Copies of this chain bind each other. A is one copy, B any other.
């Protein structure tokens, strides 16, 4: 689960939100948006943090902390786990990335800027991850919580299954 999957997609290609898109542009935009939001809110998007975010945007799939760490080492940053974890903590705290609990891995946020409680679709065959909106607290769970007197602060919603691309492959 470290560096496998999708051979050779240097910069623009396949790994997905399950839809084709101009990936170079999407990376650039997201990075710019993050920068301007940090400027606005007095947050420090330091080199390590920026590098981690950029990496996750580029890859466009879930990466483990140690995979990220490998890239950081290659880029000349510190190579001990805390370096990666601290950057990830910062990015997650401010909503630039999300942690996928099911995979113990991290993805760049697909809806930066907007407040949201994310839901994910995780392909068990290729590890691709798509982010959707969700409102779990509005449905059955919210009702149960209200009935029980439980105050929801944060939700984890992750669906595991097969993405369209892998379903096609499996049929063939």
Interface residues in chain A, defined as those with a beta carbon under 8 Å from any beta carbon in chain B: 18-19, 101-102, 119, 121, 123-124, 130, 132-141, 144-145, 148-164, 167
Contacts and interface: CB of A to CB of B under 8 A. Distances in A.
Nearest to A166: B151
Contact of A155 (B18, B19, B158, B162): B158
This protein's copies in its complex: 2
B144 A150 contact: no
A101 B164 contact: no
Contact of A119 (B140, B159, B162, B164): B140
Contact of A153 (B124, B130, B139, B154): B124
B102 A156 contact: yes
Given A119-B144, A130-B150, 19 more contacts: A18-B149, A101-B156, A121-B145, A121-B152, A124-B153, A130-B148, A133-B140, A134-B136, A135-B140, A137-B159, A149-B164, A150-B159, A150-B162, A151-B162, A153-B161, A153-B162, A154-B159, A155-B158, A155-B159
Given A158-B156, A159-B155, A148 B18 contact: yes
B141 A132 contact: yes
Contacts of A19: 148
A136 B152 contact: no
A139 B138 CA distance: 10
B164 A160 contact: no
